[in-house]
Amino acid sequence: MVKTIEWVNGKVVMLDQTRLPIEVVYIECADYHQVAEGIKKLWIRGAPAIGIAAAMGIALAAQDIQASSGDALLKGLEPAFAELLATRPTAVNIQWAVNRFRAFIDKHKNETAAELKSLLIREAQLVLDEDIEINKAIGFWGAQLIKDGDTILTHCNAGSLATGGYGTATAPMRVAKEQGKQISVIADETRPVLQGARLTAWELMEDGIPVTLISDNTAGAIMQKGEINLAIVGTDRTVLNGDVANKIGTYSVAVLCKEHGIPFYVAAPMSSIDFSTPSGDLIPIEERSPEEVTHIFGTCRIAPEGVRVRNLAFDVTPAKYVTAIITEKGIFRPSDLKKLADPSADINRLRIEVRP
């Protein structure tokens, strides 16, 4: 399985996903500014992956700070927190990483600054390792929703490339395959950045999972023909009322699923659930440059010069279209997220039981 991001000899090494599938090129980031640039320019993308990149960026930033105490180190990290948070607003995972590191430094503030700096590197690597385990747990639960012979629609890329490894939406597919189920995947191409065509199709082929690529506007027609059994997508931020922000076009897929009676599942690690935002209309939606729409690969113009463009990178699918949310803790109804927010909630009672 391809490596998205790694900490190697004091540097953050990330796969440049803008060049896939043509070239496999890794970029070494020696400081946090480069990590922030990589997130902004989509060298690394996908909510969990940019959370991991932010964690590693923070650990990198800490190494260059002259501080005599944990408090001074935390203060010195504020510009790095701000720069990383300003890169991409929709995924909650960068905020999640910043919160985790603030709490971690606070907990270890009595260590020497030198000790704390090496602890931060270990913590960033732990974020990566934990992410892979979380995805495997999502796979364990989600595979119960997949039957032998199923065809699964997915949108954008919520695979290994979007995470530390294994993927979120792809995890149930991987586990189903490991269980010997014959499955196949339909990947939406995902205009305008083509994560489905360039990334999902590529990584599933690399891993031997049968995949068929379709243009985005084909999804409805093949649902109508009865060729899709279920849809599984990822999320950049799922909020308290169960509304789901994900790649632009996800909402259309969800509405089509409802019309055709196809279950629509969202694979969401707990790090992508924002319990502090009550509803989807409050999620900041990133708007990206018009060139992503007017040009292919930044070089080939496909629209008239000067045309007005809207380039929303994400949309919000209202909870009523979401059949269930697959997390590392189990499968839940979107309407039960409010209960899940309570740390004393009985998870076993909230979990949806899937009958084989």
- Interaction site with ligand MRU (CB under 6 A): 45-48, 91, 156, 158, 162-163, 168, 195, 234-236, 246-247, 313
* CB of 130 vs ligand MRU, minimal distance in Å: 15
Q: For residues 235 and 294, which CB has a smaller minimum distance to ligand MRU in the complex? A: 235
Q: For residues 216 and 236, which CB has a smaller minimum distance to ligand MRU in the complex? A: 236
d(CA 213, CA 195): 11
Q: Which residue is nearest to ligand MRU (CB)?
A: 234
Verify whether residue 315 is a known catalytic residue: no
Identify whether the C-beta of residue 84 lies closer than 8 Å to the C-beta of residue 57: yes
Nearest to 158 by CA among 283, 269, 310: 269
**Which single residue is written with the structure tokens 């932010």?**
54
DSSP 137: H
Q: Kindly report the backbone phi and psi dihedral angles of residue 123, in degrees, each rounded to the nearest multiple of 5, phi listed first.
A: -65, -40
Identify whether the C-beta of residue 239 lies closer than 8 Å to the C-beta of residue 277: yes
Catalytic choice (236, 243, 315, 336): 236
d(CA 57, CA 64): 11
* CB of 45 vs ligand MRU, minimal distance in Å: 3
Helices (H) and strands (E) in the chain, counts: 13, 16
Token digits of residue 5:
């991001």
Q: For residues 83 and 292, which CB has a smaller minimum distance to ligand MRU in the complex? A: 292
Token digits of residue 248:
């632009």
Q: For residues 53 and 262, which CB has a smaller minimum distance to ligand MRU in the complex? A: 53
**Which single residue is written with the structure tokens 């803008």?**
18
At position 25, the amino acid (one-letter code) is: V
What residues form DSSP beta bridges with 330?
A: 327
Q: Where are the beta strands (DSSP E) in 32-74?
A: none
* CB of 263 vs ligand MRU, minimal distance in Å: 18
Q: For residues 17 and 144, which CB has a smaller minimum distance to ligand MRU in the complex? A: 17
| Cβ neighbours of residue 219 closer than 8 Å, sequence gap 6 or more | 153, 186, 188, 228, 252, 253, 256
* CB of 180 vs ligand MRU, minimal distance in Å: 25
* CB of 234 vs ligand MRU, minimal distance in Å: 3
Token digits of residue 179:
């269980």
Q: For residues 47 and 219, which CB has a smaller minimum distance to ligand MRU in the complex? A: 47
Longest dimension (CA), the chain: 66
* CB of 162 vs ligand MRU, minimal distance in Å: 3
**Which single residue is written with the structure tokens 């949806």?**
352
Positions annotated as catalytic residues are 236
